[in-house]
Amino acid sequence: MQRFLLLFFILFSGFFFSQTQLNLIPYPQKVEFKSGNFEINENTLFVGDKKSNEYKYFINKFKKIYPKDLSKNIKKVKPNFISLLLNKDLKIDYKREFNSNYILNISDEMIMVIGKDSEGLFQGIQTLLQLIETSKDGKIPALEIQDSPKFAWRGMHLDVCRHFFTVEEVKQYIDYLAMYKLNTFHWHLTDDQGWRIEIKKYPKLTQIGSKRKESMIGPYVDNTFDGKPYGPYFYTQEQIKEVVKYAKERHVTIVPEIEMPGHALAALAAYPELACTKGPFDVATKWGVFDDVFCPEEETFKFLENVLDEVMALFPSQYIHIGGDECPKTRWKESAFCQDLIKKNNLKDEHGLQSYFIQRIEKYLNSKGRKIIGWDEILEGGLAPNVAVMSWTGIKGGIEAAKSNHFAVMTPGAYCYFDHYQGDPQTEPNAFGGFTPLDKVYSYNPIPEELTKVQSKYILGIQANLWTEYITDFKQVQYMIFPRLFALSEVAWGTSKPENYKEFENRAISHFKILDKMGVNYARSIYNINGKVVPSQNGIAYELSTSQNPEGIHFTVDGSIPTAHSQTYKSAIPVLKSMVIQSAYFENNELKSAVSSQDFITSKTTGKKITLEDQPSENYSFGGAFTLVDGIMGNQKQLGKTWLGFQGKDVVATIDFGEKTQFSEVYFNTLDNKGSWIHLAKSATVYISDDGKNFKAIKEIGKDQILSAKGKIKINVGNQSSKYLKLKIENAGIIPAGNPGADSKAWLFVDEIGAN
């Protein structure tokens, strides 16, 4: 009997596994497997409204998978057919707030996609196409799927201002969204570096604002430019109509963004009279934030109303995005007009003036039957009555909006900024900064724990953003969104299960074949070696992992390039001294991944217990406090995963040596990158203690010493012996006038606190 049971298990375990695992993204809400398969062949027929966009879309996609024309005109349904139907009375077995849903039934003889409406039918078609794409020999398992989305707003953003993309490329982008059931395309059309939409009443916006003298290249701290004119690049109104129609056919809503009151240099270069200082201005060639913004005069509001009239005529979306982010108040503080306006309207300050500005625009858009949405800085000075918030600096903005009964879209940079690195920065193309790998995107829950069930209803959904400072062509766009768009799709649909990430990862890898057929340049970071520093009994150790067989990882510890004959990775590698660990993944003695290299510089603090009085910003918190004692020095040119970032906060770190330890030097690294609001520390103070409670200051250095050290700070403290070491690094505070982001809280980036 035992042998029989064992044989039964061996024979049927593969069957059961295949029947419980579909390579679908996003995974459906409910799947019920049945016996049998539907087989696509030359007799397969099609039933549906042949005039509908959904039917035409399906047939067009199907023919690309099966080039032979299998479609026939029939009057009577015969066995082996695919049917696309609408049923407004469609019922599903679970409750969903949104009506758009579908049922997919597959048996030996037929496939039926039934949508509650045309959008639901289109979603069902996407599921069926994925089943067809990932099937073997055209055999699709019999099953029933009942499905609908969790969130109404499932979005992707594209910045076409820093770098421009053609109409055909934008259409491709929309296709990617539609394939994975994302329904909102946030089109970022205006910014300091370019105005990309034709406004007929103001032709100079594109005559002047759509081009710039040159573009910044390389890491921001290098401050280098290519010397090449960029543009003129913009979309005509006819082209925009074409794209809007294309998106509508794919059930994607386009939400245009017209930036105000900040990020306005391209507009001010064309019409300098709209600024407080009257110019002249140039379209920005650098990335970052600039002091010159729209002045809240009547002339400005009339200009913006006229612009928005033309925008609304092109885009039928309920929401119009008006930006509202990163608006320095320097010019408003200096303007007599602005100061009089603040007094006249009993506003508290310049932040109140920003709220006044947003409310003026909101009233106008509301009068036209539209609503506004803006980045979470529109919370400054109080929210306009009907505005929706796009929460990007973290989740706080979304929480504040929902608690005050305003709708919010969650798009925190820590999880949803696809311009961040997705793999080891040393093996990735240059990116803006941050570290947002696939598993981190997949782990995000758009509903903050702080919200009640009622408040949660104000969370419209989730969106990921692609800013293009360092994305110069569409191949790089593809690279940055895939495969992270897969994770976004499943989170937005409401079926992500972070505890089963590996299962999702396998499905993501299976979809690489679809991307290969489409010629998409996706990131293969998932195959590369991931390194993680962990505490060990003797300090630290370096854990290596890969999505593939870990036995294929080979490494060296002497800085040499690993080969298939180098050491095979079995467990975390002890880091007992300063060293270089290089690793790579091999299959059949062939290199399959990029070579990852990690330098370690150890000191007496390496791997020790460390605590922080204030935690870093969510966007720059990878690894937490331990990042400061992990033996890895932050790369000055990459914000990646080796720095902790604090906005407006001091760094107060306490390190427990575990026993009395002698040292004479304390060091740390900090960044100077004013264009990104990152400033060197104002001062640093070293303290020691033997009990962890009573600390004595032993050395303080000021701004001049920090400045002269250019961010690589070494503090000679004499011969010391203590159990605890505390280091206070003082934030620069409010950014002074004349700097990007003036009047805002400065960022302080710190890495590796050491002692020797």
The answer to whether 163 is a known catalytic residue is no
Inside any domain, residue 602 = no
End-to-end CA distance of the chain: 68
- Spot the catalytic one: 54, 191, 291, 377: 191
- For the stretch 218-264, pLDDT in tens is 777 778 999 999 999 999 999 999 999 999 999 999 999 999 999 99
pLDDT of residue 20: 59
Torsion angle of C-alpha atoms 735, 736, 737, 743, degrees rounded to 10: 40
Q: Strand (E) positions, 335-399?
A: 371-375, 388-391
Inside any domain, residue 8 = no
pLDDT of residue 641: 75
- Spot the catalytic one: 157, 186, 188, 263: 263
Residues 485 and 544 in one domain: no
The answer to whether 679 is a known catalytic residue is no
- For the stretch 528-562, pLDDT in tens is 888 889 999 889 999 998 888 888 999 999 989 99
Domain final residue pick, 147, 167, 188:
147
The answer to whether 321 is a known catalytic residue is no
pLDDT of residue 95: 56
Q: How far is CA 593 from CA 162, 178, 398, 686, in A?
A: 31, 31, 39, 43
Inside any domain, residue 1 = no
Residues 383 and 244 in one domain: yes
Domain final residue pick, 95, 113, 147:
147
Inside any domain, residue 252 = yes
Asked whether the beta carbons of 79 and 109 are under 8 A apart, the reply is yes
pLDDT mean over 593-619? 93
CATH number at residue 615: 2.60.120.260
Tokens 């059930």, residue located? 251
Q: Count of CB atoms within 10 A of residue 116's CB?
A: 23
Domain final residue pick, 525, 542, 557:
525
- For the stretch 361-385, pLDDT in tens is 999 999 999 999 999 988 876 777 7
Asked whether the beta carbons of 209 and 283 are under 8 A apart, the reply is yes
CATH number at residue 81: 3.30.379.10
Structure tokens at 742: 């003036």
* Nearest CA among 614, 616, 620, 615 for reference residue 414: 620
Residues 130 and 196 in one domain: no
- Spot the catalytic one: 54, 119, 147, 326: 326
Inside any domain, residue 111 = yes
Residues 225 and 129 in one domain: no
- In DSSP notation, 13-59 reads HHHHHHHT----SSPPSEEEEEEEEEE--TT-EEES-TTSHHHHHHH
Residues 56 and 118 in one domain: yes
Inside any domain, residue 326 = yes
Q: Count of CB atoms within 10 A of residue 536's CB?
A: 15
Residues 574 and 653 in one domain: no
Higher per-residue pLDDT: 94 or 602: 602
Total domains in the chain come to 4
| Separation CA 99–CA 86 (nearest Å) | 13
Inside any domain, residue 562 = yes
Residues 653 and 623 in one domain: yes
Q: HSE of 481 in the Cβ direction (CA atoms, 13 Å)?
A: 29
pLDDT of residue 293: 96
pLDDT of residue 77: 47
For residue 96, what are the domain limits? 19-147
Q: What percent of the chain has pLDDT over 90?
A: 75
Q: Count of CB atoms within 10 A of residue 17's CB?
A: 9
Residues 104 and 158 in one domain: no
Q: Are strands 459-464 and 408-410 parallel, antiparallel or unpaired?
A: parallel
pLDDT of residue 11: 40
Residues 519 and 536 in one domain: no
Residues whose CB falls within 8 Å of the CB of residue 234, separated by 6 or more in sequence, listed in order: 164, 194, 195, 196, 197, 198, 206, 210
Is the confidence at residue 14, as pLDDT, over 50? no
Asked whether the beta carbons of 480 and 419 are under 8 A apart, the reply is yes
Residues 486 and 518 in one domain: yes
Residues 126 and 41 in one domain: yes
Residues 128 and 162 in one domain: no
* Nearest CA among 187, 151, 224, 160 for reference residue 495: 151
Inside any domain, residue 3 = no
- For the stretch 453-509, pLDDT in tens is 999 999 999 999 999 999 999 999 999 999 999 999 999 999 999 999 999 999 999
CATH number at residue 268: 3.20.20.80
